[in-house]
Amino acid sequence: MQKKYHIIVFGCQMNYADAERVAAVLEKMGYKKTLKLEEAGLVAVIMCSIRQSAVDRIHWLIEKFRKIRNLQPNSYRLQTILTGCILEKDKKVFIEGFDHVIDIKNISQLPKIMNKKSSLHKIDDRPNSATMDYLDIKPKSFSKFSSSVPIMTGCNNFCAYCVVPYTREREISRPASKIINEIKSLVKSGCKEIWLLGQNVNSYKDPKNKTTFAELLKKINKIPGDFWIRYTSSHPKDFKQDVIDAMADLPAKASAKAEGNHITPYLNLPVQSGDDKVLRSMKRWYTIKQYRKIISDLRKKIPNIAISTDIIVGFPGETKTQFNNTVKLFKDIKYDMAYINKYSPRSGTTAAKLKDSVSWPEKKRREKILTDTLRETAFKNNKKLIGKIVKVLIDNKKDDTYFGKTDTYKSIKISTFAKASVDKQKSKTKNKNLIGQFYNVKIIKANNWNLEGKII
Ligand code: SF4
């Protein structure tokens, strides 16, 4: 069988960025990518440990691999690799189901690890050098027009519910020069949307010259070309005025033809709870007053900014009154989007030692209340855009309908061209793949969760 690999990725954008580096290593080893698991001679799984359900999926995959192997001839055996975000205790569990369990930071050593005859059923337990060298691997981009560039990895925050500091260890920032070079190379290859990634990008600091995140944004903004910059994740505790100033000074241009200024007016700022006492119990070291001030300062300086957040409902001990403070915050902030999660304990975290006091039906009820509130605010915000012309990056097509994202990261459906430009645009775009290109789009309709528009 030809050397083919298949990649399965769970979790966040950081895991996808890791997967692109794993793919690059495998292709250098002579493997070719297949989208079909059954065709693969090697499967690499990039694991997420954030929720128990993500861990359960790995058990399900092990069973699936076992069934595939049972159908294969004796002379042939599917190779499997597990990497990504893995707790130490889980490495020991999963080694039973994988040929190799490898720390993502050691992924460049994969050829050596796989060549060792004795490496079957081996955990890669060599000392972790705690460097970010693996990020120097030139990634094999999964998309031609949208990519992620990790600027840091790890986390020092130890939020009570989160395993990331245990799986990715402490924060390490990448040198600004390497980040800039990677972005330049992506832009040169036609990339239009670049996500700067880190568990807490606001605490980014170049290890040598101490460039801050705001300064990094300014440096990136000087790169010529027509592309957008987005970033995630932010922590309110470290979100300072200099980043607001940088975002306000360097906005992405509204027109599809404009170049320069790349920072998009969109921010995901996870609040997690609207109640100070719950925030302290979550070990999130900011107050709601401070959070509100950041949002108000952002909106003063960047009036068209779209804001989303992350929320956990039913954290241990969260009372109805405390939850109502979150509802009030939602109504006041008027979010454009929110990622609402029902709390579930993750072993190894400090919150797992607390009594999971809110029942599942009550968590579901709280989730629904927030979703209903969000639906109203998101719809109202979307309605304000009707009649406006926005720059859109088209990312998909189904039948005659195109889909894309605005600079404010709103989903948009584009079914027709504006009447005045039908002929002009249709002839211009005939036989042309619009996917991965910027277009100016007039908003004609607002829905709860998306917009509709026409290319002009
Ligand atoms: S900031 Fe908190 S939630 Fe985010 S990765 Fe770090 S510990 Fe996890």
> What proportion of the chain, given as a percentage, has pLDDT over 70?
89
Collect all residues with Cβ–Cβ distance below 8 Å to 82 and sequence separation of at least 6. Answer: 45, 47, 58, 94, 97, 98, 100, 101, 102
The pLDDT of residue 82 is above 50: yes
pLDDT at 417: 65
Mapped onto helix, strand or coil, the DSSP state of residue 186 is helix
pLDDT per position as a tens digit, 110-148: 888 887 654 444 555 544 444 668 899 999 999 999 999
Is residue 144 within 8 Å of 166, Cβ to Cβ? no
How much is the average pLDDT of 238-257? 82
Give the model confidence (pLDDT) of 287-333 as tens digits.
Answer: 999 999 999 999 999 999 999 999 999 999 999 999 999 999 999 99
Please give the single-letter amino acid code of residue 422.
Answer: V
- State in Å: Cα 55 to ligand 1 middle: 18
Please state, in angstroms and rounded to a whole number, the distance separating the CA atoms of residues 363 and 74.
Answer: 49
Residue with CA at minimum distance from ligand 1 atom 8: 162
Residues of the chain with pLDDT > 90: what percent?
76
pLDDT given for residue 118 in this prediction:
43
Of all atoms in ligand 1, which is nearest to the CA of residue 200? 1
How do residues 422-456 score in pLDDT, each as one tens digit? 555 555 555 568 999 999 999 999 999 999 999 98
C-alpha 165 – ligand 1 centre gap (Å): 7
Nearest to residue 335, comparing CAs of 380, 378, 383, 384? 378
CA distance 372 to 350: 31
- Residues having CB closer than 6 A to ligand 1 are 155, 157-159, 162, 164-165, 199-200, 233, 235
- In ligand 1, which atom is closest to the CA atom of 158? 7
Q: What is the DSSP string of 286-316?
A: --HHHHHHHHHHHHHH-TT-EEEEEEEES-T
pLDDT digits (tens, 9 = 90+) for 388-420: 999 999 999 998 899 999 999 999 999 866 555
Helix (H) or strand (E) holding 322: helix 320-333
Among 76, 46, 39, which Cα is nearest to 61's?
A: 46
Classified as helix, coil or strand, 146 is: strand
**Residue 240 vs residues 28, 173, 214, 246, 274: alpha-carbon distances, Å:** 42, 18, 9, 10, 20
CA 31 / ligand 1 centre spacing (Å): 35
Residue 53 has pLDDT above 60, yes or no: yes
Ligand 1 atom closest to Cα of residue 272: 3
Q: For a pocket test of ligand 1, which of 14, 50, 153, 164 has the largest count of ligand atoms closer than 8 A to its C-beta?
A: 164
Task: Write down the pLDDT at residue 2.
Answer: 63
Statement: residue 286 has pLDDT above 90? yes
Torsion from C-alpha of 368, 285, 229, 307, nearest 10 degrees? 30
pLDDT digits (tens, 9 = 90+) for 318-377: 999 999 999 999 999 999 999 999 999 998 899 999 999 999 999 999 999 999 999 999
Average pLDDT, the chain: 90
CA of 157 to the centre of ligand 1 (A): 6
DSSP 418: -
The whole-angstrom separation of Cα 211 and Cα 185 is 21
* Architecture of the CATH domain 4-123: 3-Layer(aba) Sandwich (3.40)
pLDDT for the residue 399: 87
Distance from residue 134's CA to the centre of ligand 1 (Å) = 22
Q: Which residues pair with 83 in a beta bridge?
A: 46
Class for the domain spanning 133-383: alpha beta
Contact 436, 190 (CB under 8 A): yes
Residue 238 pLDDT exceeds 60: yes
What distance, in Å, lies between the first and last C-alpha atoms of the chain?
Answer: 50
Instruction: State the pLDDT at residue 51.
Output: 83
Closest-CA residue to 438 (of 258, 263, 304): 258
Q: Give the pLDDT of residue 253.
A: 60
Residue 23 Cα to ligand 1 middle (Å): 26
How close is the Cα of 274 to the center of ligand 1, in Å? Answer: 17
In DSSP terms, which residues pair with 398 in a beta bridge?
401
The per-residue pLDDT for 261 is 80
Please, are residues 275 and 288 in contact by the beta-carbon 8 Å criterion? yes
Atom of ligand 1 lying closest to residue 165 CA = 7
Gap between the Cα atoms of 209 and 207, Å rounded: 6
The answer, as to whether pTM is greater than 0.75, is yes
Angle of helix 288-301 relative to helix 320-333, nearest 10 degrees, comes to: 10
Domain residue extents for the chain: 4-123, 133-383, 389-455
Indicate if the alpha-carbon torsion angle 217, 220, 224, 230 is positive or negative. Answer: negative
pLDDT of residue 117: 53
Going by C-alpha positions, the residue among 314, 328, 320 that lies closest to residue 274 is: 328
pLDDT band of 421, cuts 50, 70, 90: low
Q: What is the architecture of the domain spanning 389-455?
A: Beta Barrel (2.40)
159, 271, 343: residue to mutate for ligand 1 pocket, most atoms within 8 A of CB: 159
Ligand 1 centroid, distance to 71 Cα (angstroms): 42
The ligand 1 atom nearest the CA atom of 233:
4
Scan for tokens 């403070």, then name that residue. Answer: 325
Q: Whose CA is nearest to atom 4 of ligand 1?
A: 199
Eight-state DSSP code of residue 198:
-
pLDDT at position 69 is 84
Closest to 417 measured CA to CA, from 441, 393, 399, 396: 441
Nearest to 417 by CA among 436, 392, 381: 392
How far, in Å, from the CA of 159 to the mean position of ligand 1?
Answer: 6
Closest residue by CA, ligand 1 atom 2: 159
Please indicate whether residue 134 or residue 286 has the higher confidence score (pLDDT).
286
pLDDT digits (tens, 9 = 90+) for 174-196: 999 999 999 999 999 999 999 99
pLDDT at position 257 is 58
The Å distance, Cα 443 to ligand 1 centre, comes to 36
Task: Choose which residue among 50, 155, 172 to substitute to test ligand 1 binding: the one with the highest number of ligand atoms within 8 A of its C-beta.
Answer: 155
